[in-house]
């Protein structure tokens, strides 16, 4: 039975979930099943989700529910621990981490107020264990003014998550002000409808190399039956047009989508490389003639 199936079959404590969350849950939580794992759920409601996680993650999971509502204490039971406090109370969060250790999974399904989500994330995210997951639900609220939200409004968690896209690329940008330890530990960010998932690793050492043998690619290749010199000139023209940037790209309204033109040229070059007839080069030559006419007009 899938996690979604268990949700639909639930006849125990109540829970509310959007259907689109379940593929994301299974994609990011599957590796934790039947392992010693600690999950923090912020905002436990009536406890149905805690039961769902217990059934899904298995007998070795430690489930910690955090809520401001004192009656949630009744939800404590086998594998389930309830702690009462605010998600913005850093002392409370620190005490929970001290008691249960670094969480492997954090699910923020709390107040949905943007400054609450950010405060919790800023404190807990750096504490997540290596290979852990931090998941924030119901982020449609990031667009609601009564939750501190709005489209592209600074301070929403959507904007926080977007900023992490830059943080994980800090090494390539060369801008030290955006680099953070938490950003270095972020291996990926996944945006879903109303859901953002951060995958946590450890600070990465930037490494790359080229493998294979260069002689296995013939840099003088031309389609059978074509003149190699003429074909080389054509290839040089294509590469030049791909790499060259100038005001003509920005000022010609017909060519507003420069990236689309580049992609088309690259696709046509691929056709050339796999063709066996010079007639296959005509589409590229037509594009090149059009580009030349626009530049000389």
Backbone angles phi, psi at 134, to 5 degrees: -125, 120
* CA-based end-to-end distance of the chain: 66
Give 242: exposed, middle or buried? Use CB within 10 Å, 0-12, 13-18, 19+: middle
| Mean pLDDT, the chain cut into blocks of 10 residues (297 residues total) | 86 91 96 97 95 95 97 95 97 97 97 96 96 97 95 96 93 83 93 97 84 88 89 86 58 54 63 51 57 58
Assigned domain for 284 exists: yes
Are 185 and 221 part of one and the same domain?
Answer: no
The tally of CA atoms less than 13 A away on the side-chain side of residue 85 is: 14
Active site residues: 112
DSSP-H helix ranges across 144-190: 157-167, 170-173, 181-185
Residue 236 forms part of a structural domain: yes
- 3 state DSSP class of 29: helix
Give the domain extent around 139: 3-200
Are 171 and 284 in the same domain? no
pLDDT at residue 294, as a whole number? 58
157 and 246 in one domain?
Answer: no
The C-alpha torsion from 210 through 216 and 220 to 224, rounded to 10°, is -140
- Tell which of 149, 166, 200 closes a domain: 200
- Specify the DSSP element, H or E, that contains 134: strand 133-136
Q: Does 179 share its domain with 96?
A: yes
Q: Which of 135, 168, 200 is the last residue of a domain?
A: 200
The residue from 162, 177, 200 where one domain ends is: 200
Q: What is the pLDDT of residue 251?
A: 47
Structural domains in the chain (count): 2
- The DSSP annotation for 223-275 comes to -TTS-HHHHHHHHHHHHHHHH---HHHHH-GGG--HHHHHHHHHHHHHHHHH-
- Distance in angstroms (rounded) separating the CA atoms of residues 296 and 165: 41
Residue 206 lies in a domain: no
Taking CA atoms, 29 is separated from 47, 117, 134, 295, in Å, by 19, 21, 11, 54
Q: Are residues 90 and 234 in the same domain?
A: no
Residue 208 domain flag: no
Structural domain contains residue 207: no
Query: Is 241 found in the same domain as 187?
Result: no
How far is Cα 264 from Cα 154, in angstroms, rounded to an integer?
Answer: 37
Reduced to 3 states (helix: H, G, I; strand: E, B; else coil), residue 162 is helix
| Element containing residue 8 per DSSP (H, E) | helix 3-9
Same domain? 287 vs 145: no
**Helix (H) or strand (E) segment spanning residue 81:** strand 80-84
83/143 same-domain check? yes
Domain membership flag for residue 65 = yes
pLDDT at residue 178, as a whole number: 86
């Amino acid at each position: 039975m899938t996690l979604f199936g268990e949700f639909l079959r639930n006849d125990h404590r109540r829970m509310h979930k959007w259907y689109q969350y379940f593929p994301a849950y299974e994609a990011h939580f599957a590796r934790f099943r039947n392992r010693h794992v600690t999950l923090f759920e912020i905002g436990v409601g009536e406890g149905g989700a805690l039961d769902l996680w217990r059934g899904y993650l298995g007998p070795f999971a430690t489930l910690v529910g955090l809520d401001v509502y004192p009656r949630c204490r009744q939800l404590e039971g086998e594998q389930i621990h309830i702690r009462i406090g605010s998600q913005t109370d850093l002392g409370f969060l620190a005490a929970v981490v001290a008691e249960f250790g670094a969480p492997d999974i954090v699910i923020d399904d709390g107040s949905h107020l943007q400054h609450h989500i950010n405060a919790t994330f800023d404190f807990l995210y750096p504490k997540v264990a290596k290979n852990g997951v931090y998941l924030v639900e119901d982020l449609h609220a990031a667009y609601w003014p009564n939750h501190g939200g709005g489209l592209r409004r600074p301070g929403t968690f959507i904007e926080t998550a977007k900023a992490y896209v830059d943080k994980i690329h800090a090494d390539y940008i060369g801008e030290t002000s955006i680099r953070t330890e938490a950003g270095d530990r972020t291996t990926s960010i996944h945006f879903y409808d109303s859901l953002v998932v951060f995958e946590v690793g450890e600070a990465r050492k930037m490494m790359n190399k080229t493998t294979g043998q260069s002689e296995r690619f013939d840099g003088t290749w031309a389609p059978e039956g074509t003149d190699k010199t003429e074909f080389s000139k054509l290839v040089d023209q294509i590469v030049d047009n791909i790499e060259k940037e100038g005001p003509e790209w920005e000022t010609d309204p017909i060519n507003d989508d420069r990236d689309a033109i580049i992609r088309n040229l690259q696709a046509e070059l691929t056709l050339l490389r796999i063709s066996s007839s010079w007639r296959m080069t005509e589409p590229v030559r037509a594009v090149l003639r059009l580009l030349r006419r626009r530049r000389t007009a």
